[in-house]
A and B are shown apart, each in its own frame.
Chain A
């Protein structure tokens, strides 16, 4: 990401992201009444490292390994024909599959809900989970579908003119969540 981010202001710092993920990890375990049958699936690109961090935290709380993977939703998107064909990202379902398990989908930003709609359809073709929950680092509102998150790092009221940018160590070299004006940049973080 070589783009100039100087017009953006920080809404979550590195420490705040870390604390939010730790809280979400505890919430996931509490809601699931333990770590049994959990599968954490990140939605590329930035949902994947977030899923890994969440799984690591749950594993250290519960002292059991947590299956973690990636679910690319590109082929299931409803806006495929509005844009040029995009390169696919890695889908990696843990060996045990998802049948009968509780799948926690992880994404960086929840906005229109269309990505999650696509993820639910993609999941349908992979197996039949016992339950599917959604964990997002930022919920910025403006839903276009009846979808909500179960675990939210930060609720961030935004205007549609604004752009939310999540930076992660694994992808961008540093952790932070930024908010800026959409006219400064385009396309990133759009639904």
Chain B
């Protein structure tokens, strides 16, 4: 097992499956029992270090850490010394002095989590909760977990990811993870919303959504990230929605068993219509509860064991 969870590209197939299987047990362990808490991380401190706004990811990590009995410290940029100009390094040193065992970090700069993990500023395990437009590994893990629960193993499954790929750390993490797990990934977006070098990714690229729906096993709609758009990427919201939005007409073209995912928060009426978002085959609400299990699994695997990294030595022995 890896020491830090920075990127899904770092995960071997065995690591990824271990996290998903552990999440499955977390779901079973906390469902339908009188005490939902597990004592496993008692006495460990998890710091939620959020330099960017987030409700669901931060809350999800907080719930996950608390279900494992860890102490949780929430540290957000607003109302902290960061708004007074403190650097990432000084913030990290402060956290180290407070004895953080795990740091969950979200930052607007791509690579912030990597910097925190490898700079030597802190000993804590680092879990990336989104860094710029780079990666958001636990989101991809919860997406894979959700798809696997509905469709079984991902090998050979066709997963269509639609929309604002260029700004999407969710898409990046998903492409790496889903292809490691053996799925075929199709990206659908207007050319302006595809990143440079996408032809080197292990994916198929399409510009026409209608053409790929008939043999999709799952469709993941990405949020159009207006806050990251400082230029015109498409003519109008209406046109985007007409060509790349998932409405009832397109939904009807999907196979009966196909499911619809969205990482949230949704722009209803933009990339997805309300009736599709609320349909029984939309698993968007389930993704949120699965997020807690996946994050419990990641926290358990990163923080429960011995401090020194001897994890890979035992791999396979369990």
Binding site for B on A (CB under 8 A): 72, 75-76, 80-93, 121, 124-127, 187
Chain A residues near B301 (CB, 8 Å)?
A: 85
- B305 lies within 8 A of A187 (CB): no
- A84 lies within 8 A of B34 (CB): no
Chain B residues near A81 (CB, 8 Å)?
A: 304-307
Known A75-B40, A88-B22; further 16 A-B contacts with Cβ < 8 A:
A75-B39, A76-B38, A83-B306, A84-B305, A84-B306, A84-B313, A84-B314, A87-B318, A88-B21, A88-B25, A89-B25, A91-B28, A91-B29, A121-B39, A126-B33, A127-B34
Verify if B97 is at the interface (C-beta below 8 Å from A).
no
Closest A residue to B301 using CB positions? A85
- B18-31 CB mask vs A (1 if < 8 Å, else 0) is 10011001101100
Of residues 272 to 307 in B, which have CB atoms within 8 Å of A's CB atoms? 300-307
A76 to B301 CA separation, bound complex (whole angstroms): 14
Chain B residues near A82 (CB, 8 Å)?
A: 306
Pick from B35, B302, B303, B305: contact of A83, CB under 8 Å: B305
Given A75-B38, A80-B304, A187-B317, A85 and B1 contact (CB-CB distance below 8 Å): yes
How many A-B Cβ pairs are below 8 Å? 72
**Min CB gap B300→A, angstroms:** 6
A125 to B39 CA separation, bound complex (whole angstroms): 10
- B305 lies within 8 A of A126 (CB): no
Given A125-B35, A126-B34, A127-B34, A84 and B1 contact (CB-CB distance below 8 Å): yes
A81 to B317 CA separation, bound complex (whole angstroms): 17
Chain A residues near B25 (CB, 8 Å)?
A: 72, 88-91
- A87 lies within 8 A of B21 (CB): yes
- A87 lies within 8 A of B22 (CB): yes
- B300 lies within 8 A of A76 (CB): no
Chain B residues near A89 (CB, 8 Å)?
A: 25
Pick from A83, A87, A90, A125: contact of B38, CB under 8 Å: A125
